[in-house]
Structure formats: structure tokens, C-alpha cells
Structure 1
Amino acid sequence: MALYAMIAAWTYQDTGFFTPLHHIASTFAASDSMMTSMQNAMTGSAFTVALGPAAAGAVIHMMVGAMYGAVFAVGARLARLRGAALVAAATVWGLVVFALSTWISLPLVAALFGGGDPISDMASMVGYPTFLLEHVLYGLGLGLLLAAPPAFRRHRG
């Protein structure tokens, strides 16, 4: 999901490869690094990165994804989902996470932590089609991860 967001920002959005990480960091920090990344992309420097905000954005994004993933994993286990049904359900979960994030979580987090418009309006700033596809990819990846057999498991007959 994050890699797709970064490639989208670098290519067809022309906002800079690391801009999505800076954007997420705006949850708790000033949006200066996001704006600098975007401005530099417009002048041809698509790989501007402020290491601190980018790392913070990556950590925030991974922890939120892990939290949503854990909630889904518990529900999937209780529902005894396996195989293709698990992958399909997780992909739908990605759509649920898109809706929750777009219209509930991000506006709430922006209000609580002072992230302002960059956070509350993240879906519209990124573009709804891109933001939606990011979340579908998240769900698909989650489903494939949960459906894969553990590497350490061996068949014992």
C-alpha cells in the first residue's frame, strides 16, 4: 500500500516519492516537510526526504495498518475464514478501512492532534481513486499474508 502511494506520488501525481510519508507525519508535526517535498517535486527533485518526518510517517502508517489488520485477523479467525474467502474478505476489509479512514478516523485524528486539513482531507488531497486503490491493495496484501501457511509449519502425517 505505502509503496503504491509513493510510486503514485512520484509518477502520475508529480508530488514527490516521499511525500506520502511526510503527509502522514503531518498528523503530529507541522506539514512543512510535506510542502517542501511537494514543491521540490514540482521543480524536478522528486526524491526530497526529511528523514525524521518520513520515518515518523512510516511508523505511524505501519502501526495503524497493523491495528486494522489485527482487528480483521481476530474477526477472520472467529469466522473461520480460509483460502480465497479469507483473501476476498480482507480485500473488502480494505474498502471498509478506506471508508472509516476517509470519513471518520482521519477527521477525528486531525481534530484531536491538530493535523488540520492535510490529515482530515487526506483522501481528497491524494485523490479518491488513488486512496481507494491503496486500501484495496492493503486488504489484498493482508488477506494473502493471513492465508499463507506459516513458514515454520510442516506437514506431520
Structure 2
Amino acid sequence: MAAFAMTAAATYQGVGFFTPLYHIASSVISGDAMMQSMESAMEGNNFVFIVGPAIVGALVHMMVGAGYGIVFAAIAKVAALRGAVLTVAGAVYGFVVFAASAWLLLPLTASILGGGDPIRDMATMVGYPTFIAEHILFGVVLALVLLPLAARRAHR
């Protein structure tokens, strides 16, 4: 998901390769790195790397992703999902995560942590098609990671 988001940001979005990390980080720290990355991209430099905000963004995103992953793994285990059904369920779950994030959790996070419009309106800023694709990709990859575990459970 992160690789897709960063590639999209550096290519057709034109906002800078590391901007997604800084965007996520702006939920808990200043959005200065995000703005600097976007402004540099407009000037032709797609690769502005600022260590602190990049680490914060990566950690926040991985923690949120891990939480969503744990929820999906529990659902998949209880429902005994495996094979193609697990993969399709992962894609659907990714879309559910998109919807929950875009319309509930990001606005709530912006209100609680003070991230403002960049967090509240993240889906709009990123673009709904890209934001949806990122989350469906997350769900599919999550399901693919769980496939071997599901197959082992089925053979017991």
C-alpha cells in the first residue's frame, strides 16, 4: 500500500515521493514536511526526504495497518476463510477500511489530535480512486499473507 501511494504521489499526482509519509505524520506533528515535499515536487524535486517526519509517518501508518490487520485476521479465522474466498474477503475488507477511514476515523482523528483539514480530508486530497485502490491493495495483500496460515488450519 505504501509503495503504491508513494509511487502515485511521485508520478501522476506530482506531489513528491515521500509526501504520503509526511501526510500521515501530520496527524500527530506539524504538516511542514508535507508542504515542503509538495512545494519541492512542484519545482521538479520529487525526492525530499526529512527523516523525523518520515519515521513518524511510517510508524503511525504501520501501527494503524497492524490494528486493521489483526481485526481482519480474527474475522478470517472465526469465519474459516481460505483460498480465493479469503482473497476476495481481503479486497472487500480493504474497501471497508477505506470507507471507515475516509468518513469516520480520519475526521475523528483530525478533531482529537488537531490534524486539521489535511487529515480530515485525506481521501479528497489523495483522490478517491487512488485512496480506494490503496486500501483494496492493503486488504488483498493482507489476505495473501494469511493464506498459508489458513491453509495450515484447514489441513489440521
Q: TM-score range by the shorter chain?
A: over 0.9
Q: Following superposition of structure 1 onto structure 2, how do residues 6-155 of structure 1 map, counting pairs within 5 Å?
A: 6-149=6-149
Give deviations 1:86-128, integer Å, cap 9, x for gaps. 1110110000000000000000000000000000000000000
Runs of 4+ in structure 1 over 6 Å off: none
Is the helix fraction higher in 1 or 2? 2
- 2: distance between equivalents of 1:117 and 1:49? 23
Question: Which runs of 5 or more structure 1 residues have no equivalent in the other structure?
Answer: none
Mapped to 2, the partners of 1:56 and 1:13 lie a distance apart of 22
Give the root-mean-square deviation of aligned CA atoms: 1.4
Distance 1:133 1:121 in 2: 17
Q: CA deviation at 1:148?
A: 2.7
Supply the distance in 2 between the matched residues of 1:43 and 1:98 (Cα, whole angstroms): 31
Q: Following the alignment from structure 2 to structure 1, what is the Cα–Cα distance between the partners of residues 40 and 146? A: 39
Q: Residue type of the partner of 1:105? A: L
Q: How many residues align?
A: 152
Distance 2:14 2:21 in 1: 15
Match of 1:4 in 2: 4
Shift of 1:76: 0.7
Rounded Cα–Cα distance in structure 2 between residues aligned with 1:115 and 1:80 = 39
What is the rounded CA distance, in whole Å, between the counterparts of 2:37 and 2:78 in structure 1? 43
Distance in 2 between residues matched to 1:135 and 1:83, nearest whole Å: 20
Q: State the percentage of identical aligned residues.
A: 58
Question: How far off its partner does 1:149 sit?
Answer: 4.8
